[in-house]
Amino acid sequence: MKYLDEYRDEALAQKIVEEIRRTVTKPWVLMEVCGGQTHSIVKYGIDRLLPDKVELVHGPGCPVCVTSLEMIDKALEIARRPEVIFCSFGDMLRVPGSKDDLLVLKSRGADVRVVYSPIDCLKIARANPQKKVVFFAIGFETTAPANAMSVWQAHQQGITNYSILVSHVLVPPSIASILQSPFNRVQGFLGPGHVCTVMGYREYEPIAARYKVPIVITGFEPIDILEGTLMTIRQLEGGKAEVQNQYPRVVSREGNKVAQDLVNKVFEVGDRKWRGVGSIPKSGYKLRYEFRDYDADRIFDTREIDTKEPEICISGLVLRGVKKPHDCPAFGNLCTPEHPLGATMVSAEGACAAYYAYGRHLEARKRPENALTS
Amino acid sequence: MCLAIPGKLIEIATDPNGVRMGKANFGGIVKQVCLEYTPEVEKGDYVLVHVGFALSKVDEAEAARTYQALERMQQLAELDIPDVPDEPFAIPRVA
């Protein structure tokens, strides 16, 4: 059955690629926003199926990657404390801070635990009343309802030894920031399907109108990405700039209202620093004042940590779609998933790590003309 | 990280704290799922689940398709992280 599906997908994929070929007359640069889409594109080589005129660049949609170095250092400082049980999604454990990572701390005896869901942290908090349980609340809008519910439930249930270290990021302000940059090359976006499952896509409409870019909310499977690409190209060739939904089988314009309501009850929008990019105004969530007792950043009063990224790293430009991973002289030699130098290499969903995982660093070596010369 | 995984709801119950919870089967792995954000779902429905929270209902064909796609992309590892048991417990600290 599985193979039949794959066969059908392949025939359909060819058909859509042909249609893109027939439609495109001018060169266009499209950005996929979601890290899951990036992974899919590189794994299946979707960018290489497309005509030369259509370039896919990879966006900032990996929350693990864009969590700032300062925030990782803060997490490490909190996790080091003997009274703390530090809980995190597994993806964050190997992300390097200025010195160590969470896995190193764990090996040295810190109580660092990988959890599947933030709701598990409440059980850990109840079972360990003498400890302070801290959850590393990272993620885009998809993850916000889970993290918000953990705080809401702690509040409802009178759990006082639970807090979250918030590093939430939001997609629409990051898109707007890319479009405002004088170096911007992106002319159309494949919007993030599962983020929009929660948020819907109303909030993308003013961005499409203001910056005159098509935004097509797209799934993460190869066929979805090809369809999303075709819909975006059709708009660009036709001079349109609208929000369209390629993924209606999962995404609605309104999204999940129940989830949005609780997120808005617990969180408010605030400025957020993105790894590799810097601070983007109103691009993240922070806990509302009423929930300040659950704010690990406040409870633990970590000192301001001054951090510096390696100068050679161009991840900020990769996250904005200005450069590709193999434009970086460090890619695949100085910088690898085992020893990442920057944001886009620290998690499997980052563009550099995805290129590396599927062997594109080997091609980059074969083609030195691709290397950044400046 | 932002992808949601489809599972079939095999049990729905309200926990002692009044939270609507359920159990979902993800290709043989059964995990706890919070259903507070999907008040409309019933036992037997397929739901898209992200970090233990059902975010929307999907039909069976879509669920199968999405699950296979995630499997091919090796994006199901998080399901292997065990649920924290409900009963109070203490994990001995490794110093």
Q: CA-CA distance, B23 to B34, in Å (whole number)?
A: 8
- What integer pLDDT is reported at residue B87 of this predicted model? 53
Q: What is the DSSP letter of B59?
A: -
Could you read off the pLDDT of A99-128 as tens digits, one per residue? 899 999 999 999 999 999 999 999 999 999
Could you read off the pLDDT of A258-296 as tens digits, one per residue? 999 999 999 999 999 998 888 999 999 999 999 999 999
Closest CA to A162 of A106, A112, A123: A123
Going from the C-alpha of A368 to that of each of A130, A156, A206, A314, A315, the distances in angstroms are 58, 59, 42, 17, 19
Q: What is the DSSP letter of B71?
A: H
pLDDT higher than 90, residue A303 = no
Could you read off the pLDDT of A314-351 as tens digits, one per residue? 998 999 999 999 999 999 999 999 999 988 998 888 99
Q: A347 — contact with chain B (CB < 8 Å)? A: yes
Question: What ipTM was reported for this prediction?
Answer: 0.91
Cβ–Cβ gap B34/A40 under 8 Å = no
Mean pLDDT of A356-371: 68
Q: With respect to residue B75, please indicate whether it lies within any of the assigned structural domains.
A: yes
Cα A40 to chain centroid, rounded: 14
Mean pLDDT of A236-250: 97
Q: Is A295:A164 a contact under the CB 8 Å cutoff?
A: yes
pLDDT higher than 80, residue A312 = yes
The angle formed by the CA atoms of residues A67, A71 and A76, to the nearest 5 degrees, is 120
Strands A215-218 and A188-192: what pairing? parallel
Q: With respect to residue B89, please indicate whether it lies within any of the assigned structural domains.
A: no
Q: With respect to residue B64, please indicate whether it lies within any of the assigned structural domains.
A: yes
Please report, for the domain that includes residue B66, its CATH number.
Answer: 2.30.30.140
Q: Which of A43, A138, A142, A256 to mutate to test the interface with B (most CBs of B within 10 A)?
A: A142
Nearby residues of A4 by Cβ (< 8 Å), 6 or more positions away? none
Q: A143: distance to nearest CA of chain B, Å? A: 7
Nearest by CB to A250, from B17, B56, B88: name it: B56
Structural domain boundaries of chain A?
A: 11-314, 315-365
Is residue A64 packed enough to be buried (19+ CB in 10 Å), middle (13-18) or exposed (0-12)? buried
pLDDT higher than 70, residue A373 = no
- What integer pLDDT is reported at residue A306 of this predicted model? 77
Nearest by CB to A256, from B55, B75, B90: name it: B55
- What are residue A215's DSSP bridge partners? A189, A243
Q: What are the E-state strand segments in A246-300?
A: 267-274, 278-287
Q: A279 — contact with chain B (CB < 8 Å)? A: no
- What integer pLDDT is reported at residue A374 of this predicted model? 33
For chain B, how many structural domains are there in total?
Answer: 1
Q: What is the DSSP letter of A374?
A: -
**Chain B nearest-CA residue for A223:** B69
Q: With respect to residue B66, please indicate whether it lies within any of the assigned structural domains.
A: yes
- What integer pLDDT is reported at residue A2 of this predicted model? 43
Cβ–Cβ gap B81/A116 under 8 Å = yes
Residue A146: its chain B contacts at CB < 8 A? 34, 50-53
In 3-state terms chain B splits into helix, strand, coil percentages (rounded to 5) of: 20, 35, 45
Which 3 state secondary structure label does DSSP give A306? coil
- Which CATH superfamily includes the segment(s) A11-314? HypD, alpha/beta domain 2 (3.40.50.11740)
Q: Which of A12, A44, A123 to mutate to test the interface with B (most CBs of B within 10 A)?
A: A123
Cβ–Cβ gap A116/B82 under 8 Å = yes
Q: B84: distance to nearest CA of chain A, Å? A: 6
Could you list the residue range(s) of the whole structural domain that residue B52 is in? 5-79
pLDDT higher than 80, residue A44 = yes
Closest CA to B33 of B17, B16, B50: B50
- If you average pLDDT over every residue of chain A, what do you get? 92
Which 3 state secondary structure label does DSSP give B63? helix
pLDDT higher than 70, residue A372 = no
Q: CA-CA distance, A291 to A160, in Å (whole number)?
A: 11
Mean pLDDT of A350-372: 73
- What integer pLDDT is reported at residue B88 of this predicted model? 46
Which 3 state secondary structure label does DSSP give B54? strand
Residue A143: its chain B contacts at CB < 8 A? 1-2, 50-51
Kindly report the backbone phi and psi dihedral angles of residue A3, in degrees, each rounded to the nearest multiple of 5, phi listed first: -70, -35
Could you read off the pLDDT of A152-190 as tens digits, one per residue? 999 999 999 999 999 999 999 999 999 999 999 999 999
Q: CA-CA distance, A140 to A351, in Å (whole number)?
A: 17
**Chain A nearest-CA residue for B21:** A119
Q: Is A204:A253 a contact under the CB 8 Å cutoff?
A: no
Strands A54-61 and A28-34: what pairing? parallel
Q: CA-CA distance, A6 to A343, in Å (whole number)?
A: 33
Q: Which of A66, A120, A227 to mutate to test the interface with B (most CBs of B within 10 A)?
A: A120
Mean pLDDT of A147-152: 98
Q: CA-CA distance, A353 to A345, in Å (whole number)?
A: 5
Question: Which residues between 114 and 143 in chain A have a beta carbon less than 8 angstroms from any beta carbon of chain B?
Answer: 114-120, 123-124, 126-128, 139-140, 142-143
Could you read off the pLDDT of B42-74 as tens digits, one per residue? 999 999 999 999 999 999 999 998 999 888 888
Q: A153 — contact with chain B (CB < 8 Å)? A: yes
Residue A120: its chain B contacts at CB < 8 A? 52, 83-84
Q: CA-CA distance, A110 to A263, in Å (whole number)?
A: 31
- What integer pLDDT is reported at residue A357 of this predicted model? 92
Closest CA to A31 of A18, A41, A22, A20: A41
Q: B29: distance to nearest CA of chain A, Å? A: 13
Question: Which residues between 306 and 325 in chain A have a beta carbon less than 8 angstroms from any beta carbon of chain B?
Answer: none
